[in-house]
């Protein structure tokens, strides 16, 4: 008996029934990515409004812009989950993880916010790099999408690392 083919003409096809196990694994990773984006949207909304002070303005403006981008990522992950025969989870499946991005005690503590954003972006970068690995040679469509999102997150990380450097140079962090 012939071994099950990975897809048409022996090419990898993540939508084919033989690849159901691999697909399930990828959908699970996409679920986590979806929740990370949704929680980031919540955290960035709060932190784009809460902080007080002149120095906080730049950070607030930047976060307010990122909200739309992170929301777009959540929608892309949702769409891909559906395309891979998964189901986009309802809100009852949500569990919080961003303890580090809760509003600080003092609303002028912008360094707390900057460090929290850096941690969130690093977490996303870690997880998305894992998806890029898992999809390699298996699901180039998901891989391509995640690489593009990964670049957005690297841009966010870099920007907030820049904010932190400024505060460190001023002896405020
Ligand atoms: Fe994102
Ligand atoms: Fe981001």
| 102-119 pLDDT per residue, tens | 999 999 999 999 999 999
Which ligand has the nearest atom to the CA of 73?
1
Q: How many Å lie between the centroid of ligand 2 and the Cα of residue 153?
A: 4
Q: How many Å lie between the centroid of ligand 1 and the Cα of residue 141?
A: 18
Q: How far apart are CA 128 and CA 143, in angstroms?
A: 9
Q: What angle do CA 114, 173, 37 make, to 5 degrees?
A: 15
Task: Tokens 């990370």: give the residue.
Answer: 36
Are the CB atoms for 35 and 101 separated by under 8 Å?
Answer: no
What's the predicted TM-score (pTM) here?
Answer: 0.92
Q: How many Å lie between the centroid of ligand 1 and the Cα of residue 10?
A: 34
Q: How many Å lie between the centroid of ligand 2 and the Cα of residue 18?
A: 35
Using one digit for the tens of pLDDT, what is the confidence trace for 64-99? Answer: 999 999 999 999 999 999 999 999 999 999 999 999
Q: What angle do CA 138, 143, 147 make, to 5 degrees?
A: 155
């Amino acid at each position: 008996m012939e071994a099950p083919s990975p897809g048409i003409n022996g090419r990898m096809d993540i939508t084919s029934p033989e690849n159901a196990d691999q697909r399930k694994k990828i959908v699970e990773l996409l679920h986590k990515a979806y929740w990370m984006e949704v929680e980031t949207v919540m955290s960035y909304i709060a932190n784009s409004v809460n902080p007080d002070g002149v120095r906080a303005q730049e950070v607030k403006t930047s976060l307010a812009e990122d909200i739309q981008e992170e929301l777009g990522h959540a929608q892309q992950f949702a769409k891909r989950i559906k395309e891979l025969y998964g189901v986009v989870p309802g809100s009852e499946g949500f569990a919080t993880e961003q303890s580090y991005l809760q509003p600080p005690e003092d609303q002028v503590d912008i360094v707390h916010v900057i460090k929290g954003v850096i941690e969130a972006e690093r977490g996303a970068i870690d997880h998305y790099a894992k998806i890029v690995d898992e999809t390699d040679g298996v699901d180039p469509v998901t891989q391509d999408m995640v690489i593009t999102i990964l670049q957005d997150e690297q841009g966010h990380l870099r920007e907030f690392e820049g904010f932190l450097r400024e505060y460190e140079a001023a002896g405020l962090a």
